[in-house]
């Protein structure tokens, strides 16, 4: 059905029924489903000559969402374009492109983070995650013992980033600038992981505070929290009572 609409262009239910050799009632059931999924939309059909009485016929056309279901070569085109750029300008040209692309997003992300910070309704990482979700990254931010973890469950440019990791590197630098802390990328979809994961350390106030951008190991986490590991605290060192040993 969808491929027939794509092939015929704007067409009525009656035209589809003739094309597929089925009843108009069956066509309409399928059309209702495609419309509900956002793959097809109805428009007023063009009429040549004088329009007759009654309601105007509807023509059904594919939406952009419907077209996206069919094969597209956008990723391949993007990879080919960047390879061509690299051939002429080297790896530094790819890096410059990735940084320019990130710079285009920086002002918008920074504004979102700032507004949420003023409102106090979300942490900077949560505000950034919401902005990334609007751009198709399906992102979330969860607290960790050392700060927060930004998770991007989808990457719209993932296939391109496999060939050109500079896109991921520029994005990580973008996060650091927008959030005002040194973030650490722990995993990426382009590297074969299921989620792009970025560690965002807690911002500490005061000149004596030190910023650890690397998440603690389990042993460090237990020790800093004063929490017993495996149900028992580590024994404190004791002074020897052997008279032959010195004080």
User: Which of the two residues, 173 and 219, has the higher pLDDT score?
Assistant: 173
Decide if pLDDT at 11 tops 80: yes
CA atoms in the 13 A half-sphere facing the CB of 174: 22
Supply the CATH classification number for the domain 2-69.
1.10.10.10
Name the residue ranges covered by the structural domains of the chain: 2-69, 74-205
Decide if pLDDT at 182 tops 80: yes
Decide if pLDDT at 216 tops 80: no
Q: What is the 3-state secondary structure (H, E, C) of the chain?
A: CHHHHHHHCCECHHHHHHHHCCCHHHHHHHHHHHHHCCCEEEEECCCCCCCCCCCCCEEEEECHHHHHHCCCCHHHHHHHHHHHHHHHHCHHHHHHHHHHHHHHHHHHHHHHHHHHHHHCCCCHHHHHHHHHHHCCCCEEEEEECCEEEEEECCCCCHHHHHHCCHHHHHHHHHHHHHHCCCCEEEECHHHCCCCEEEEEECCCCCCCCCCCCCCCCHHHHHHHHCCCECCECCCCCCCCCCCCCCC
Least confident of 32-41, 45-54, 155-164, 167-176: 45-54
pLDDT of residue 205: 56
For the residues 110-127, what does the mean pLDDT come to?
A: 89
Question: 25 falls in which pLDDT band (50, 70, 90)?
Answer: confident
Decide if pLDDT at 12 tops 50: yes
Question: 131 falls in which pLDDT band (50, 70, 90)?
Answer: very high
Average pLDDT, the chain: 81
Decide if pLDDT at 233 tops 50: no
pLDDT of residue 128: 96
């Amino acid at each position: 059905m969808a491929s027939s609409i794509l092939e015929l262009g704007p067409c009525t239910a009656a035209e589809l029924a003739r094309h597929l050799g089925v009843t108009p009632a069956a066509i309409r059931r399928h059309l209702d489903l495609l419309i509900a999924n956002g793959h097809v939309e109805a428009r007023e059909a063009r009429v040549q000559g004088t329009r007759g009485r009654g309601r105007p016929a509807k023509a059904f056309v594919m939406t952009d969402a419907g077209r996206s279901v069919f094969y597209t070569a956008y990723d391949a085109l993007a990879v080919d374009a960047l390879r061509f750029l690299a051939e002429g300008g080297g790896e530094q040209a790819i890096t410059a492109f990735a940084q320019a692309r990130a710079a285009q997003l920086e002002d918008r992300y920074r504004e979102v983070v700032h507004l949420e910070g003023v409102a106090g309704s979300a942490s900077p990482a949560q505000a950034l995650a919401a902005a990334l979700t609007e751009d198709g990254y399906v992102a979330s931010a969860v607290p960790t013992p050392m700060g927060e973890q930004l998770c991007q469950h989808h990457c719209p440019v993932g296939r391109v980033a496999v060939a050109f990791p500079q896109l991921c590197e520029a994005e990580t630098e973008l996060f650091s600038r927008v959030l005002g802390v040194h973030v650490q990328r722990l995993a990426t979809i382009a590297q074969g992981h299921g989620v792009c994961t970025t560690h965002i350390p807690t911002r500490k106030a005061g000149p004596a505070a030190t910023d650890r951008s690397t998440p603690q190991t389990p042993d460090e986490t237990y020790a800093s929290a004063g929490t017993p590991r495996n149900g028992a605290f580590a024994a404190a060192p004791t002074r020897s009572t052997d008279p032959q040993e010195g004080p």
